[in-house]
Structure 1
Amino acid sequence: MPDRMTLPPRAARFATFLIFGLNGFGLGMWLVHLPNVEHDIGVPHSVLGLLLLVLGGSALVGMQVVGPLVDRIGPRRLTPAAAATFALSLTVPGWLTSWWSLGLILIVMGFANGALDVSMNAHAVVVERGYDRPIMAAFHAMWSVGGALAAVVGAAALNANVPTGVTLGVTGLFCAALSLFAARFTIDADHHRRTEETVATEAKPAPKGLVWILGFLALALMLSEGVANDWAALELKGVLNASASEAALGYGAFAVAMTVGRFATDRVAAKIGATRIVRYGAAIAAIGLTIASIAPWIPLALVGYALFGIGLSGGVPQLFTAAGNLDHRSAGALMARVVGLGYVGLLAGPAVIGGLTRLMPLNAAFAVPIVLCVLTVVFASALDPREDNELVDQRPMRNV
C-alpha cells in the first residue's frame, strides 16, 4: 500500500472527483426510480412525503454527528465509509413491500448521505489545500454530472422495463465498489506535513458569528437552488402556458448552466477571489430569476433561468471552502453547521414557495429567492473582507 504521506494530491483529487460523482449518480438513480418505489409499495403521495421528510431529517442528523468525527478521525476513513454505506442502502428500496420498512432504510440512507455530504466536502477542502488554486467548484460540478448521467441511465433502464430492485441493486453495488476503491487514495489533513504547532499558529479560533453568517449565505443560495429544481417547470407551465416539453426546458437550462458554471468557477475564483464569486454570482442570479419571473416569452424566461444557474453555480463551493478553512482544528464541525443550514434551505425552499402560492401567483413568490440573493450580495464580504480592497491568496499552500 502506498505511503499516504507521499501520495500526490492528484490521486486524492481523483478520488474526490469520483466520490462526488458517485454520490450524484446514486441520488439521481434513487430519484428517477422513486415513482416506481412508491407504486410498488402502494403508498399515497402524503405518506411518501412524510417518508421523504424522514430522509431529510436523518440527513441533518448525520451531518451534525459526523462533523465532529471528521475532526477527530479525519475525512480519509469517514468519506469512503459514508459513501459505501449510502451506496449499499440503495440496494434495498426496490425490494420492499411496506411503508415502515421503506422508512427504516430511508433513515439509514439519509444519515449516510448527510455524513457523506460533510465528510466529502471536508476531504475536498483538505485536497484543495495542496494546490495553489481553487478546485472545490469542480468537485461540485462532478456531482451534477453524476446526476445528469443517472437521468440518462435511469431512463434507459425504465424504458427497458428492468425491475427497480435490479437497477437500484446494481447501482448500489457499483457505487459501493468504486467508493472502496477510492478509499486507497483519500488523505487526511496531515498529508501536507503540517505540524500541530503550525496549525495552531495559522488557524485562530473562528469567530462564532462568522460561521453562522456563512451558514445563512449557504441557506439563502441553496434555498434558491431548491426553488429552481422544483418550481421552474411549473412556473413556465402555469404563467406562460408552456407545454410539458417546453416547461422541462426551464429546469434543463438552469441545471446545464449551473454545471458549466461550476467547471468554470475555479479558474475565475483564482483571478478575482471567493468573495467576488459569491457577490457577483448572487447578483447575476437575482437578475436572472427576475427576468424569468417577469418574462412575457418562453425563450426570454429560459435565458433568465440559465443566468440564474450560472449565478448560483459558484457560490456554495466557496462557502464550504471558507467554512472548512475557518479553523483547521474544527473544520468538520464548522462545515457541518454551514452544510446543515444549506441543506435546510434546500428542503425548505420548495415548501416556502408552495405556501406563498396560496396568497400570490407563483412568479410573484419568486421574490423570496430574489431577495435572498440580494442579501447574499450584501453579506458576501464575510468570506474575506480583505478582498474588497485587494485580491488575496486564500490558499497559500504550495503544490506538493
Structure 2
Amino acid sequence: MTATDVQLPSAPPRAARVATWLYFGLNGFAVGMWVVHIPSIEQKTGITHSTLGLLLLVLGGAAFIGMQVAGPLVDKLGQRRLVPAAGILLGIALAGPGLATNWWTLGLTLILVGFGNGSIDVGMNAQAVVVERGYPRPIMAAFHAMWSIGGAIAAVIGAATLRADVPTEVTLALSGLLCIAIALAASRFLLEATVPDEEDADDGAPREKPPAKLVWALGALAFGLMLSEGVANDWAALHFRDILDTSVSTAAFAYGAFAVAMTVGRFLTDRVAAVVGPAAIVRWGAAMAAVGLTLVIVVPWVPVALVGWAIFGLGLAGGVPQLFTAAGNLDPRSSGALMARVVGLGYVGLLAGPALIGGLAHWMPLNIAFILPVVLCVLTFFGGPILKRAPANR
C-alpha cells in the first residue's frame, strides 16, 4: 500500500455525495440567513455601523479559531462525528442573533455562529475530499456550488419573510431547526476513511510528512483567490454606484453577474479539471479573473463592466476547490489539520480583502484599488504549478 492509499468502497459513494451536498447547502443557507437579517438585527440591537464592523471581526475571528480546533478533531474523532456536531452547533447558534438585544449579547451569539461556521467549513471540506476519492473524476467544485445555492435559497426565503414582517427571531430559530434536522438526517451517510498505518508502505519505511512549505504555498494561493472573491462580494455593487454612477437597482446586477457566473463555473469546473488537471484550473482561472477585473478597472461602460464582473467570477470559480482537494490529499492521517491551515488562510483573505480595498479607496478611486486583486490573480497564475507537487487525488 502506498503512502496515499485510502480504503474506500469500490462503487462510487453516491449517498455520501448527496449528504455532503446537503452539508454544503446547509452552511451556505445558514450564512445567508444571517447576512440577510443583518440590517434588522442592527436596528433591533441599536448598534452603530462601526460597532457592527467590530462584531463582524469577532465573528470572523471565531470562525478562524473554529477551523483550527475542528481540523485536528476531524482526524482524531472522525468525520462522521465532527461534521454533524458542527452542523448542529451552527443550527443552534443561528437562533442567537435574533434574540440579541444589545451589542454584547449579539457579540456572544456571533462567537458561537463563527465557531460553528468555521468548524463545519473544515469538516465538510474534509468529507468532500474523502467522497471524491471514491469517484474516477473530480467532484469538489460542485460541492462549493451547493454552498452558493444554499446562500441563494436563504436570500429568497429571507426576503420573503422580511416582506411578510415575520419576526427575525422566529425566522432564524426556524432556520436553525432546519439546519439541525438536515445535519442529523445526512449524518448516517457520511464516510469515514481508513488510512494506512505509519509503516504500511511497501518498503516498510515510515511515511513522510508533507513539506510545510507546500502546505503554506497552497494556503497563500487560497488567500489570494479568496481575497479577490471577498472584494467582489463587498465592492462590486459599490463600484457600479460610485464609479459608473448607476442607480442602486442597477448596481445590484454587478454582484449578481459575479455570483451567477461563479456558481455556474463551479458546476462546470469538475468536468474541465478531469481533462486539464487542477494546476491548469488554478492558473488559467486566475488569468481569466485578472482579465475580467482589468475590464472592470479600465472600461467605464456598464455593459462591459457587467461582462468583466462575470468573467471575474467564472475565473475564480474553480481555483479554491482544487486547492482544498490538494491540501486534503497531502496526508490522509492529518487531512483535517492540513485543510484547517489552507482553509483558514483562505478565510483570512476573504475577510481582509474588503477591508484592504476600503483602506485603499481613501487614497485612490475605487476601480484603481482593484489593481490589488488583479496582482494577486497574476501571482496565482505563476504560483499555480505548485499543485503538480501535491499527490494525485486518486
Q: Same fold (TM over 0.5)?
A: yes
- 1:269 aligns to 2:267 (yes or no): no
Secondary structure of the residue aligned to 1:240 is: coil
The structure-2 alpha-carbon separation of the partners of 1:75 and 1:166, relative to structure 1 and needing over 3 Å to count, comes to: same
Q: 1:203 Cα shift?
A: 6.2
Identity of aligned pairs, percent? 64
Cα deviation, residue 151, structure 1: 0.7
Superposed displacement of residue 49, structure 1: 1.2
8 A contact 1:203–1:328 mirrored in 2: no
Which amino acid in the other structure matches residue 373 of structure 1? C
SS across alignment from 2:354: helix
Correspondence for 1:178 among 178, 182, 188 = 182
CA contact (8 A) 1:90 1:168 kept: yes
The correspondence for 2:318, drawn from 291, 309, 314, is 314
1:90 maps to 2:94 = yes
RMSD: 1.8
How far apart are the structure 2 equivalents of 1:204 and 1:333?
A: 16
Aligned positions of 1:282-361 closer than 5 A: 282-361=286-365
Match of 1:366 in 2: 370
Partner of 1:218: 222
The one-letter code sitting in structure 2 at the alignment partner of 1:206 is P
Aligned to 2:67: 63
Q: How far apart, in 1, do the equivalents of 2:102 and 2:16 lie?
A: 41
Q: Quote the offset at 1:196 in angstroms.
A: 2.7
The answer to whether structure 1 residue 255 and structure 2 residue 259 are counterparts is: yes
Q: Deviations over 1:254-279 (max 9, x none)?
A: 00000000000000000000000000
What is aligned with 1:99?
103
Q: Deviations over 1:348-376 (max 9, x none)?
A: 00000000011111000000000000000
Cα pair 1:217 1:376 within 8 Å, conserved: yes
Q: Structure 1 counterpart of 2:38, which letter?
A: L
Deviation at 1:322, TM superposition (A): 0.3
Q: Per the alignment, do residues 159 and 203 of structure 1 end up closer, same or farther by CA in structure 2, a change over 3 Å counting? A: farther
CA deviation vs aligned residue, 1:15-63 (integer Å, no higher than 9, x gap): 1000000110111011001111111111111111111111110111111
> Once the two structures are superposed, what CA deviation does each residue of 1:129-183 show, in whole Å capped at 9, x if it has no partner?
1111100000000000010111111101111110101111110001111111111
- Report if aligned partners of 1:7, 1:185 keep a CA contact under 8 Å in 2: no
Any conservation in 2 of the 1:203–1:326 contact (CA below 8 Å)? no
- Corresponding residue for 2:3? none
1:394 aligns with 2:382: no
d(CA) in 2 for partners of 1:251, 1:369: 16
* 1:324 positional shift: 0.4
| Alignment partner, residue 117 of structure 1 | 121
Aligned to 1:196: 197
Describe how 1:377-388 pairs up with structure 2 within 5 A: 377-385=381-389
Q: Does 1:49 align with 2:49?
A: no
The unaligned stretches of length 5 or more in structure 2 are 1-7
Distance 1:158 1:74, change over 3 A: same
For the 8 Å contact 1:131–1:395, the answer to whether it is kept is no
State how far apart, in whole Å, the 1-side matches of 2:347 and 2:131 are.
23
8 Å contact from structure 2 (residues 278, 322) kept in 1: yes
Contact 2:289 2:377 in 1 (8 A): yes
Question: Which one-letter code corresponds to 1:351 in the other structure?
Answer: A
Runs of 4+ off more than 2 Å? 4-8, 194-204, 393-396
Distance in 2, Cα, partners of 1:274 & 1:198:
29
Deviation of 1:204 after TM superposition, in Å, equals 3.5
**Counterpart residue identity of residue 362, structure 2:** R
SS in structure 2 opposite 1:93?
helix
2: distance between equivalents of 1:237 and 1:65? 41
Which of 170, 185, 191 aligns to 1:187? It is 191
User: Given the alignment, which residue of 119, 130, 139 partners 1:135?
Assistant: 139
Question: So what's the TM-score if we normalise by structure 1?
Answer: 0.93
Q: In structure 2, which of residues 229, 236, 239 is the aligned counterpart of residue 232 of structure 1?
A: 236
In structure 2, what is the Cα distance between the partners aligned to 1:330 and 1:58?
22
The equivalent residue for 1:389 is none
Contact 1:199–1:328 (CA under 8 A) maintained in structure 2: no
